[in-house]
């Protein structure tokens, strides 16, 4: 403690002199690493855009550092939202603002990155609740396109990109229950997909095939560089899709998305070692036979079964509530740190960007949130400062500006 | 076909021709051919009425009527005698819900979606078909006639069964004669329903719209008599219809209650045709004092082998499969008069099978007969002609080979108006038995003939035992069997009955010829030696052990509703919502549904003491804006003003979302009409008394509210199809209001000046109520211009808007709203879903609140409704609101805007015991509602919930196993996916 005090006085002096210091030290806060660990009264140091040190005590002496005293505050990694359409849509009801659903059923070649609108008015509303990264996911059809991992604040999509291509998204067709096999549209769609994958594999194994954009977009899937995101909700679709790909294309990296009924088949998912991205937890039970709190407790059930999973917020403007989905999962059985991991480190891992983002560990991007209280609880989730790649963020978005404008008009405090 | 059968059918043919040719005033092609029709049926067992069976009795028929019936009556010499020894005679059944013989095809051309499309001076709405008389479209229909006769029905009340007011139905006979002879009463009853049927007009687009249309039509018909302004053929026809019994088709148990409520309003009675689920709300239905018509279409067992798919079948559907056959018996036990209908059964066999099943499930046989004969006759005032086999009545009866309720009993003949029709060929020879047979001179064998189902088969037992295939054609039996075990060559014999016993019908001797494999023909003969004992059928029905009837009839319902008890909460953190603020370590006592004491260390004798240490007790959440528990349509979109429709008419008390809301600490909600039109329907405030019937869930004496709406929804901006409904702009929206209120003022003036001659207008009545401060507006609103506009409209009409709901730009006009005195009920953080919400901010509620506007946070969504505590907490985060003020936004403030704060919304002695016990600070994400009390009744607790989950699982398993067993036994199954309870939002239509 003595060391701190002397240190503090030193760096405080330096900071006053050099406001644009390349080094920032955050002291005294409760640091939620994102990997399940917490450090009470810890210290976090970042230089430029990278975290250099996180721990109970500081190991290095930094000159010219700026110091943030986070006494009583909570420090988190920037949140990561998967399975989302922020930046691809602006106003749900205005067609001209929608860019997430391309015409046609098989579009693995369309890329969300190039449509990602960094000037979307929705992004800043999520930013102030700590969502610093998102995965814009093309929607619709059977193979809806290629997603990416982006920052929620950037000048343009090139700057925004953390990963320009993290996977291809497949909507596994739902086979209506109680219908006879062959005449079912779901069955026909599955046949179409099976054929497409066979042709794609054939194409990708040829030395110089005649160029086909759709088939070519599958190349990185078969090489295992990117993931195949299988969007499937019901247990039977999950079993069938995973079994199919495990048997025919064991080289594919599979991730389940949505997975509403994953809780029914945890053994299967565990055995096949497929990670899961859960869809919106704030939903009603899908049918009356589901427990009233089934959506809320699914994460805990997956965790208890040893399944790796992320929690996602579908949609766009709703994204700002991502942390509260994790909070709900915590209220229904998970620990807060595990719940946090499902919106930070785990999604980063699933998208292959955990070397850069997802937790507060040395060497990772300095994307850091400082909150008044528990970030997962809406009552206390108030960001006081936030950094993206070491850059401090302006937390006064247009909504806050409107708020202040009208408070001023009415003379409210 | 046997010769005898052919003869009988020819006989029927002759009788029918005779009847037709006897028609007076009809030209004839050929000589006069009147036949004698004086018949005596003798030695029969006659079920004269549902409770009297005469044995060895005589039925005398003349001119199509029963001349006499009894045991010791003289048989006139001129009567033809038919011996019905061993047979049973029953009065024909009467079906009061039928389309039999009605060839009615409504025209389906749509010219105008807002006005009627039929030529003629009829009602404005095409679903009002009062002028349609089914008798105009009636004729004998051979195929359908067979179906009715085979099921025992000799008369039907036949209607067009199309539309809301269906016109008149005709009482007709199901026999084969000319329409002139078959129609007993051309206008025997009126028909109604909530279903607009073939009408292509938009209105009504919802169940509540149908109810409003019915009520308005009754008022219009009464007014029509007094006025001299117009001619309406519909209302002319209505005057005849109103004196007739009315059959109202109600699509389920709750629709029965809805229809009865209308009947009560107009002091009439309906005959209510139900769905067969009446047992689920039997007490309420029994109190109506109105007769029922019940179908016997029981569900087949569902396909439930696949557990994943079976999850999609709700408990209600599973239980209904088990309990549907018990419905009629349960209705009967409640002494509710009822009739049974063939409607819903695909054929006569299904009906008869299900009728006998209903008897096995508890319906008394004579009650069943009553429901098929005397009750329906009474309901449509036809007892003088139909229903029993008493003197003077029409000779409608059928003849069975065994007592009717025996499983094996067959209806062999059906007589309509004294005309015989054969349905089942009676057995004319009994072939089964053991015979000594010979082929030619040398070959002897034992012949055994048996019956499997309806098929004869046999064994040829000589050196080898060989199976025989037996077929029959025109009285000749063909027997094929192999010459010996090792050969494939067949012996083919044609055999006929040489001699039979007249009484037992047993064949004593057979003869015939057989062609041998080598081509030679030799004589065949067989002599009967002994009876072949028929194997006892073992498929006797198991003893009944039915599942419980639960209220509501869905998951988490209970067999016995919980009651209000005296409960003492000890040492809770109490959020009073009063000046006392949040009290620590405080006791609260409730009794008889009220809060009776608040204080430290209360010592009150309680039924239940809840240790609430470390827990937080609050008044329950009230959702100002909800669309749960609404049946068939949240919007009546079809006109820009539908002030006449009422959500309170269409409460769905079975909606599982009620229970889900309770689990989130919600105790009441305003069920609002949607936002389809500038003036929507009247809302209902629902107390979440889970398990009670719709009317019992209303808050007695509460003020009336109505939904208004502004902006994109009422302009139909996001419909995605061209629309022509006025208004299409915000400019037009204002005009809708001025027009409506000015008309309402004129209406009120006219009504006051001349109440007798003024047409009562339900739509105008609602608007007059608003201006007289007897009904209060909750207005869906987004942008500031429209908010401002409606306040101006209200000011100019000297009333106040009660609440702006959604009100996402309220913060821009908070000062004006404060000045107007309007309340605000808004979302915490919804935005960007359409253009008009792009300036919505999550601090909106805080600005409004801090400006002194009473502000609430609402859901508009069944999922968010159960997390309203969390939505309120967002106000702390976004606007720095105090915890107490945030909490009031989902409790006291909505109570205020619903004018219920005198009884709800805070923890205060004397107020309603609508309480929630939370596991943690109710505004924190960790908080779970552990117990939810409404009126002092604990409708939800985590403990009860877990117990119920186990019960549900066990009950599902029990029924699923039964279904699989039924399938294995050979019952046909059906594929089923249950409907999901509607999760409506404002803009669903």
B377 interfacial to chain A (CB closer than 8 Å): no
* Cα B98 from chain centroid (whole Å): 16
Whether the upstream peptide bond of residue B712 has omega within 30° of 0, thus cis, is no
pLDDT exceeds cutoff 60 at B552: yes
> Which chain A positions have a beta carbon within 8 Å of B981's beta carbon?
288
In-domain check, residue B458: yes
Q: Smallest CA–CA separation between B504 and chain A, in Å?
A: 51
> Which chain A positions have a beta carbon within 8 Å of B814's beta carbon?
406, 410
* β-bridge pairing B397-400 and B411-416: antiparallel
Return the number of other C-beta atoms located less than 10 Å from residue B7's C-beta.
10
Same domain, B763 and B864: yes
Testing the interface with B: which of A289, A296, A372 to mutate, by most B Cβ within 10 A? A289
Between CA A204 and CA A207, with CA A206 as vertex, the angle to 5 degrees is 115
CB B591 within 8 A of CB B911: no
> Which chain A positions have a beta carbon within 8 Å of B314's beta carbon?
287-289
CA distance B13 to B1: 16
pLDDT exceeds cutoff 70 at A20: no
Residue B803 sits in a domain whose CATH number is 3.20.20.140
Per-residue model confidence as pLDDT tens digits over B888-938: 999 999 999 999 999 999 999 999 999 999 999 999 999 999 999 999 999
Q: Give the CATH class of A2-72.
A: mainly beta
| pLDDT for the residue numbered B3 | 46
Lookup: tokens for B429: 């020879």
Residue with tokens 């109490």: B574
> Which chain B positions have a beta carbon within 8 Å of A374's beta carbon?
925
Average pLDDT along chain B? 93
A122: nearest CB among B832, B923, B949: B832
Q: Do B839 and A402 touch (CB under 8 A)?
A: yes
Give the DSSP letter of residue B542.
Answer: P
Q: Do B834 and A378 touch (CB under 8 A)?
A: no
Interface ipTM above 0.90:
yes
Residue B914 sits in a domain whose CATH number is 2.30.40.10
Q: Do A379 and B873 touch (CB under 8 A)?
A: yes
**Average pLDDT, integer, range B672-689:** 97
Domain map of chain A by residue range? 2-72, 79-358
Q: Given pLDDT bands bounded at 50, 70 and 90, which one contains residue B442?
A: confident
Same domain, B350 and B227: yes
Per-residue model confidence as pLDDT tens digits over A360-411: 999 999 999 999 999 999 999 999 999 999 999 999 999 999 999 999 999 9
By mean pLDDT, which of A270-274, A306-310, B9-13 is the weakest? B9-13
Which residue has better confidence, B18 or B697?
A: B697
**Average pLDDT, integer, range A303-326:** 98
Lookup: tokens for B564: 């209000």
* Cα B497 from chain centroid (whole Å): 54
Which residue has better confidence, B200 or B752?
A: B752
CA distance B793 to B800: 9
Residue among A116, A27, A89 at smallest CA distance from A385: A27
Lookup: tokens for B686: 């629902």
| pLDDT for the residue numbered B116 | 83
Q: Do B926 and A377 touch (CB under 8 A)?
A: yes
Same domain, B806 and B883: yes
CA distance A352 to A151: 15
Q: Looking at the 3D structure of chain B, how many domains does it have?
A: 5
Q: What stretch of H or E contains B47?
A: strand B39-49
Testing the interface with A: which of B311, B656, B832 to mutate, by most A Cβ within 10 A? B832
| pLDDT for the residue numbered B36 | 86
Per-residue model confidence as pLDDT tens digits over B818-865: 999 999 999 999 999 999 999 999 999 999 999 999 999 999 999 999
CB B460 within 8 A of CB B447: yes
Q: Smallest CA–CA separation between A381 and chain B, in Å?
A: 6
CA distance B7 to B26: 28
Give the DSSP letter of residue B425.
Answer: P
Q: Do B306 and A328 touch (CB under 8 A)?
A: no
Testing the interface with B: which of A84, A94, A178 to mutate, by most B Cβ within 10 A? A178
Same domain, B239 and B296: yes
| pLDDT for the residue numbered B108 | 65
B877: nearest CB among A286, A288, A382: A382
Testing the interface with B: which of A233, A339, A372, A379 to mutate, by most B Cβ within 10 A? A379
Q: Would you tell me which residues 9-48 of chain A have a C-beta closer than 8 angstroms to some C-beta of chain B?
A: none
pLDDT exceeds cutoff 80 at B24: no
> Which chain A positions have a beta carbon within 8 Å of B949's beta carbon?
291
What percentage of residues in chain B have a pLDDT greater than 70? 96
By mean pLDDT, which of A1-15, B181-195, B468-482 is the weakest? A1-15
CA distance B793 to B308: 55
* CA-based nearest residue in chain A for residue B940: A292
Same domain, B854 and B820: yes
Phi, psi of B611 (to 5 degrees): -75, 105
**B47: which strand partners?**
B53, B90
Same domain, B698 and B785: yes
Residues 6+ apart with CB under 8 A from B386: B91, B92, B94, B154, B155, B184, B373, B377, B393, B394, B396
DSSP annotation string for A207-232: SSPPP-HHHHTTHHHHTTSSEEEEEE
In-domain check, residue B114: no
B983: nearest CB among A122, A284, A330: A284
Q: Which of B356, B386, B416 is the last residue of a domain?
A: B386
Exposure of B949 by Cβ count < 10 A (0-12 exposed, 13-18 middle, 19+ buried)? middle
Return the number of other C-beta atoms located less than 10 Å from residue B383's C-beta.
17
A234 interfacial to chain B (CB closer than 8 Å): yes
Q: Smallest CA–CA separation between B961 and chain A, in Å?
A: 17
A204 interfacial to chain B (CB closer than 8 Å): no
Residue with tokens 């002879």: B181
Give the DSSP letter of residue A260.
Answer: T
Same domain, B183 and B251: yes
> Which chain B positions have a beta carbon within 8 Å of A320's beta carbon?
829
Q: Given pLDDT bands bounded at 50, 70 and 90, which one contains residue A183?
A: low
A396 interfacial to chain B (CB closer than 8 Å): no
Between CA B64 and CA B69, with CA B67 as vertex, the angle to 5 degrees is 120
CA distance B590 to B611: 14
Which residue has better confidence, B710 or B18?
A: B710
In-domain check, residue B965: no
Residue among B71, B81, B90 at smallest CA distance from B395: B90
Residue among B183, B497, B150 at smallest CA distance from B348: B150
Per-residue model confidence as pLDDT tens digits over B584-632: 999 999 999 999 999 999 999 999 999 999 999 999 999 999 999 999 9
CA distance B421 to A90: 73
Q: Smallest CA–CA separation between A136 and chain B, in Å?
A: 17
Whether the upstream peptide bond of residue B204 has omega within 30° of 0, thus cis, is yes
CB environment A241-256: b (16+ within 10 A), e (fewer)? bbebbeeebeebbbbb
A97 interfacial to chain B (CB closer than 8 Å): no
CB B316 within 8 A of CB B279: no
In-domain check, residue B449: yes
pLDDT exceeds cutoff 50 at B786: yes
Per-residue model confidence as pLDDT tens digits over B91-129: 999 999 999 999 998 876 766 778 888 888 999 999 999
Number of H helices, E strands in chain A: 13, 16
What percentage of residues in chain B have a pLDDT greater than 90? 84
CB B745 within 8 A of CB B772: no
Given CATH 3.20.20.140, say whether it is the number of domain A79-358. yes
CA distance B518 to B710: 95
> Which chain B positions have a beta carbon within 8 Å of A402's beta carbon?
811, 839, 841, 843
Same domain, B311 and B266: yes
Q: Would you tell me which residues 799-858 of chain B have a C-beta closer than 8 angstroms to some C-beta of chain A?
A: 811-812, 814-815, 829-835, 838-839, 841-843, 847, 850-851
Q: Would you tell me which residues 339-358 of chain A have a C-beta closer than 8 angstroms to some C-beta of chain B?
A: none
Testing the interface with B: which of A292, A334, A335 to mutate, by most B Cβ within 10 A? A292
Lookup: tokens for B545: 């052990």
Q: Given pLDDT bands bounded at 50, 70 and 90, which one contains residue A16?
A: very low
| pLDDT for the residue numbered B7 | 44
Same domain, B211 and B291: yes
Sign of CA dihedral B912, B916, B921, B922: negative
CB B524 within 8 A of CB B437: yes
Helix then strand then coil, % of chain B, to nearest 5: 30, 30, 45
Same domain, B609 and B722: no
Residue with tokens 């805080």: B846
Same domain, B603 and B643: no
Q: What is the largest CA-CA distance in chain B?
A: 119
Q: Would you tell me which residues 246-265 of chain A have a C-beta closer than 8 angstroms to some C-beta of chain B?
A: 261, 264
Q: Would you tell me which residues 43-82 of chain A have a C-beta closer than 8 angstroms to some C-beta of chain B?
A: none
**Average pLDDT, integer, range B380-401:** 97
pLDDT exceeds cutoff 90 at B724: no
A402 interfacial to chain B (CB closer than 8 Å): yes
Lookup: tokens for B77: 């010499």
**Average pLDDT, integer, range B320-346:** 97
| Domain region containing B81 | 1-92+388-425
* Cα A136 from chain centroid (whole Å): 10
Q: Smallest CA–CA separation between B724 and chain A, in Å?
A: 20
In-domain check, residue B950: no
CA distance B978 to B955: 17
Exposure of B370 by Cβ count < 10 A (0-12 exposed, 13-18 middle, 19+ buried)? buried
Residue among B72, B64, B15, B16 at smallest CA distance from B42: B72
Per-residue model confidence as pLDDT tens digits over B469-524: 999 888 899 999 998 888 889 999 999 999 988 878 888 999 999 999 988 999 99
B876: nearest CB among A286, A291, A379: A379
Q: Do domains A2-72 and A79-358 have the same CATH topology?
A: no
Same domain, B677 and B821: yes
Phi, psi of A394 (to 5 degrees): -80, 115
**Average pLDDT, integer, range B873-880:** 97
**Average pLDDT, integer, range B198-202:** 91
Q: What stretch of H or E contains B456?
A: strand B455-461
Per-residue model confidence as pLDDT tens digits over A134-178: 999 999 999 999 999 999 999 999 999 999 999 999 999 998 876
> Which chain B positions have a beta carbon within 8 Å of A292's beta carbon?
556, 659-660, 663, 945
> Which chain A positions have a beta carbon within 8 Å of B315's beta carbon?
288-289
CA distance A91 to B838: 8
A268 interfacial to chain B (CB closer than 8 Å): no
In-domain check, residue B414: yes
Q: Do B309 and A177 touch (CB under 8 A)?
A: yes
B386 interfacial to chain A (CB closer than 8 Å): no
Residues 6+ apart with CB under 8 A from A175: A184, A186, A187, A190, A236, A237, A240
Separation of first and last alpha carbons in chain A: 39
């Amino acid at each position: 403690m003595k060391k701190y005090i002397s240190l503090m006085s030193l760096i405080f002096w330096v900071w006053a002199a050099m406001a644009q210091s390349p080094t920032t030290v955050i002291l005294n806060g409760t640091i939620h690493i994102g990997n399940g660990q917490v450090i009470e009264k810890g210290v976090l140091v970042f230089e430029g855009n990278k975290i250099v040190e996180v721990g109970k005590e500081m190991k290095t002496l930094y000159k010219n550092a700026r110091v943030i005293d986070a006494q009583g505050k909570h420090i988190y990694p920037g949140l990561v939202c998967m399975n989302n359409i922020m930046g691809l849509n602006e106003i749900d009801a205005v067609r001209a603002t929608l860019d997430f659903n391309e015409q046609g059923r098989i579009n693995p070649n369309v890329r969300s990155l190039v449509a990602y609108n960094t000037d979307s008015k929705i992004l800043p509303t999520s930013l102030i609740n700590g969502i610093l990264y998102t995965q814009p996911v093309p929607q619709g059809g059977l193979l809806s396109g290629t997603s990416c991992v982006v920052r929620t604040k950037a000048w343009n999509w090139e700057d925004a990109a953390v990963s320009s291509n993290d996977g291809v998204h497949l909507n596994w067709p739902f086979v209506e229950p109680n219908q006879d096999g062959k005449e079912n549209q779901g069955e026909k769609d599955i046949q179409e997909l099976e054929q497409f994958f066979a042709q794609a594999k054939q194409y990708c194994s040829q030395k110089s095939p005649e160029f086909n954009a759709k088939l070519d977009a599958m190349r990185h899937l078969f090489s295992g560089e990117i993931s195949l995101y299988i969007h499937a909700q019901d247990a039977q679709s999950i079993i069938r899709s995973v079994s199919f790909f495990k048997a025919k294309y064991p080289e594919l990296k599979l991730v389940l998305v949505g997975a509403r009924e994953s809780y029914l088949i945890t053994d299967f998912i565990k055995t096949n070692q497929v990670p899961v991205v859960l869809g919106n937890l704030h939903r009603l039970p899908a049918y009356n036979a589901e427990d009233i709190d089934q959506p809320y407790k699914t994460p805990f059930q997956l965790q208890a079964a040893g399944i790796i999973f992320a929690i996602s917020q579908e949609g766009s403007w709703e994204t700002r509530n991502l942390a509260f989905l994790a909070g709900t999962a915590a209220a229904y059985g998970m620990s807060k740190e595990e719940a946090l991991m499902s919106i930070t480190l785990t999604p980063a891992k699933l998208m292959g960007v955990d070397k850069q983002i997802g937790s507060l560990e040395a060497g990772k991007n300095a994307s850091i949130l400082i909150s008044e209280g528990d970030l997962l609880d809406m009552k206390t989730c108030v960001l006081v400062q936030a950094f993206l790649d070491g850059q401090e963020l302006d937390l006064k978005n247009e909504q806050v500006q409107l708020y202040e404008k009208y408070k001023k008009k009415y003379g409210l405090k | 076909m046997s010769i005898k059968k052919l003869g009988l059918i020819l006989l029927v043919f002759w009788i029918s021709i005779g009847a037709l040719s006897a028609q007076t005033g009809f030209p004839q092609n050929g000589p006069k051919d009147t036949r004698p029709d004086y018949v005596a049926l003798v030695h029969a067992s006659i079920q004269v009425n549902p409770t009297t069976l005469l044995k060895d009795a005589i039925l005398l028929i003349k001119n199509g009527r029963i001349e006499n019936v009894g045991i010791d009556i003289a048989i006139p010499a001129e009567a033809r005698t038919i011996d019905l020894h061993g047979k049973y005679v029953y009065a024909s059944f009467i079906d009061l819900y039928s389309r039999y013989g009605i060839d009615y095809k409504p025209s389906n051309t749509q010219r105008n979606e807002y006005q009627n499309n039929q030529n003629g001076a009829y009602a404005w709405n095409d679903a009002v078909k009062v002028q349609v008389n089914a008798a105009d479209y009636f004729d004998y229909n051979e195929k359908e006639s067979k179906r009715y006769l085979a099921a025992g029905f000799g008369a039907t009340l036949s209607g067009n069964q199309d539309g809301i007011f269906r016109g008149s139905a005709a009482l007709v006979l199901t026999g084969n004669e000319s329409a002139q002879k078959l129609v007993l009463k051309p206008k025997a009853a009126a028909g109604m329903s909530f279903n607009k049927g073939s009408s292509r007009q938009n209105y009504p687009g919802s169940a509540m719209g149908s109810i409003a249309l019915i009520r308005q039509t009754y008022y219009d018909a009464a007014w029509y008599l007094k006025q001299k302004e117009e001619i309406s053929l519909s209302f002319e026809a209505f005057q005849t219809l109103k004196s007739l019994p009315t059959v109202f088709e109600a699509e389920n148990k709750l629709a029965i209650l809805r229809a009865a409520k209308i009947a009560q309003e107009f002091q009439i009675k309906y005959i209510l045709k139900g769905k067969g689920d009446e047992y689920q709300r039997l007490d309420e239905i029994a109190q109506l004092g109105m007769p029922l018509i019940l179908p016997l279409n029981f569900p087949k067992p569902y396909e439930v082998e696949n557990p994943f798919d079976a999850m999609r079948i709700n408990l209600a559907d599973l239980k209904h499969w088990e309990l549907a056959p018990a419905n009629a018996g349960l209705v009967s036990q409640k002494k509710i008069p009822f009739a049974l209908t063939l409607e819903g059964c695909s054929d006569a066999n299904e009906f008869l099978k299900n009728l006998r099943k209903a008897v096995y499930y508890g319906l008394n046989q004579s009650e069943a007969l009553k429901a098929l004969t005397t009750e329906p006759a009474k309901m449509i005032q036809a007892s003088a002609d139909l229903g029993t086999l008493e003197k003077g009545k029409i000779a409608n009866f059928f003849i069975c080979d065994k007592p009717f309720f025996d499983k094996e009993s067959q209806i062999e003949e059906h007589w309509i108006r004294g005309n015989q029709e054969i349905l089942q060929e009676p057995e004319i020879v009994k072939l089964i038995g053991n015979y000594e047979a010979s082929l030619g001179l040398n070959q002897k064998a034992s012949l055994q003939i048996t019956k499997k189902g309806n098929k004869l088969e046999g064994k040829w037992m000589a050196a080898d035992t060989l199976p025989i295939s037996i077929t029959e054609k025109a009285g000749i039996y063909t027997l094929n069997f192999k010459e010996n075990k090792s050969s494939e060559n067949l012996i083919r014999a044609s055999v006929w009955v040489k001699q039979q016993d007249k009484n037992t019908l047993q064949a004593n001797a057979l003869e015939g010829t057989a062609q041998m494999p080598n081509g030679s023909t030799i004589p065949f003969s067989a002599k009967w030696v002994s009876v072949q004992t028929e194997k006892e059928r073992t498929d006797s029905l198991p003893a009944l052990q039915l599942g419980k009837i639960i209220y509501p009839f869905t998951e988490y319902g209970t067999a016995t509703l919980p009651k209000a008890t005296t409960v003492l909460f000890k040492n809770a953190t109490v959020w009073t919502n009063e000046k006392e603020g949040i009290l620590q370590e405080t006791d609260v006592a409730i009794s008889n549904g009220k809060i009776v004491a608040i204080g430290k260390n209360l010592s009150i004798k309680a039924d239940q003491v809840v240790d609430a240490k470390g827990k937080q007790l609050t008044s329950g959440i009230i959702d100002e804006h909800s669309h749960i528990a609404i049946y068939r349509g949240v919007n009546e979109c079809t006109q820009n003003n539908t002030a006449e429709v009422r959500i309170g008419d269409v409460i769905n008390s079975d909606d599982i979302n009620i229970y889900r809301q309770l689990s989130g600490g919600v105790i009441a909600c305003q069920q609002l009409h949607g936002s389809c039109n500038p003036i929507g329907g009247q809302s209902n405030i629902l107390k979440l008394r889970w398990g009670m019937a719709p009317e019992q869930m209303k808050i007695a004496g509460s003020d009336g509210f109505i939904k208004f709406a502004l902006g994109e929804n009422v302009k139909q901006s996001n419909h995605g199809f061209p629309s022509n409904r006025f208004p299409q702009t915000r400019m037009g929206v204002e005009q809708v209001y001025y027009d409506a209120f000015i008309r309402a003022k004129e209406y009120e003036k006219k009504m006051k000046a001349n109440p007798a001659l003024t047409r009562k207008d339900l739509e105008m009545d609602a608007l007059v109520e608003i201006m007289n401060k007897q009904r209060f507006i909750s207005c869906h609103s987004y942008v500031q211009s429209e908010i401002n506009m409606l306040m101006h409209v209200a000011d100019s009409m000297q009333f106040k808007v009660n609440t702006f709901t959604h009100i996402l730009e309220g913060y821009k006009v908070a000062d004006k709203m404060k000045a107007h005195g309007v309340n605000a009920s808004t979302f915490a953080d919804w935005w960007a879903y359409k253009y008009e919400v792009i300036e919505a901010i999550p601090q909106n509620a805080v600005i409004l609140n801090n400006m002194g506007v009473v502000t609430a946070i609402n859901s508009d969504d069944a999922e968010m409704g159960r997390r309203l505590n969390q939505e309120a907490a967002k106000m702390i985060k976004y606007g720095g609101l105090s915890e107490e003020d945030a909490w009031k936004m989902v409790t006291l403030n909505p109570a205020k805007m619903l004018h219920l704060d005198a009884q709800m919304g805070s923890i205060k002695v004397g107020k309603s015991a609508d309480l929630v016990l939370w596991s943690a600070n109710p505004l924190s994400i960790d908080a779970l509602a552990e117990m939810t009390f409404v009126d002092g009744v604990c409708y939800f607790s985590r403990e009860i919930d877990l117990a119920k989950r186990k019960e549900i699982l066990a009950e599902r398993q029990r029924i699923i196993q039964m279904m699989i067993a039924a399938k294995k036994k050979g019952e046909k199954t059906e594929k089923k996916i249950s409907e999901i309870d509607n999760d409506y939002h404002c803009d669903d239509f």
